[in-house]
Amino acid sequence: RGDGTSEPLCYWQTDSTLVANLDYQTQLMPGSTVTLLSGVIHPARSVSPCPGPLCAQGSATIDIDFPCGGVACALPVAVVSGSQQISACPSEVLHLDASDSTGGGIKPLAYAWRVDPMRSDFANEINARLELLDGEDAFAIALGDLPLGDSQFVLLVRVTSFLGLASELAEFVVTRSGGAEPSL
C-alpha cells in the first residue's frame, strides 16, 4: 500500500497474474520494489489457507525501462479549451483549461504552458510568467494584464505523466482585438 490511505483492490486476472489497484498516494514509480505480504496471498484456485508452501513470499521490482509490464506505456494527450478571442479591455483575463488532458495514470499530470515565440506577440514577457506556473496545479490558467493592442498568442501546453512520458504539444491560438474599449 505504500503511502496510500486505502487498502489496494486486488484480484486474479488469470491463474498466474495478480492485479493490485493502488490509490494515487502510493508513491510507486519505475524502479520501486513491490513486496507481497508474506503468508497471505495464495494461488488463485488454491483452497489451502496461508501460511503454506504455495503462499507468496517474495517481491518484484518495477522495471524502470518497462513500467507498464513489458509493453510501451501510452503517451499522455494534451487537450486545451478556452476563448479564442479576448477583448481590448485592459482588465480582460485569458482563461485556458487543459483538465481534459489524459494519460496521467494513477497520479495527476504535470502541465507546462508556453507561447510560441515565433508566432506570438510579447512572447518573452508571457513565457516568463507561464514558466512560474508549471506543475500539477497548472491544468487551468488565468492570464491578466496582457499587453494591449492587436495581438496574437499561440499558446502551447505539454502534459507529462509521473512516469516522465510527455505528450505532443497542444496548440491554442488566441487573438486580442486592438479596437477601442467600450464606453458608456
Q: In this predicted model, what pLDDT tens digit does every residue of 69-102 receive, in sequence order? A: 777 778 999 999 999 998 888 888 999 999 999 9
Which pLDDT does position 89 carry in this prediction? 84
Q: What value does the mean pLDDT of the chain take?
A: 80
The amino acid at 160: T
Indicate the SS3 state at residue 160: strand
Q: Indicate whether 181 pLDDT > 60.
A: no
Find out whether 84 and 175 touch, Cβ atoms under 8 Å.
yes
| CA dist 153 → 100, 120, 142, 156 (Å) | 21, 4, 14, 9
Find out whether 107 and 161 touch, Cβ atoms under 8 Å.
yes
Which pLDDT does position 99 carry in this prediction? 95
Find out whether 154 and 120 touch, Cβ atoms under 8 Å.
yes
Query: What percent of the chain has pLDDT above 70?
Result: 67
Name the residue among 43, 41, 39, 3 with its Cα closest to residue 24.
3
Q: Compute the average pLDDT of residues 160-184.
A: 82
Q: Indicate whether 114 pLDDT > 90.
A: yes
**pLDDT band for position 58 (cuts 50, 70, 90):** low
| CA dist 134 → 11, 45, 118, 128, 141 (Å) | 37, 48, 21, 11, 10
The rounded radius of gyration (Å) of the Cα atoms in the chain is 24
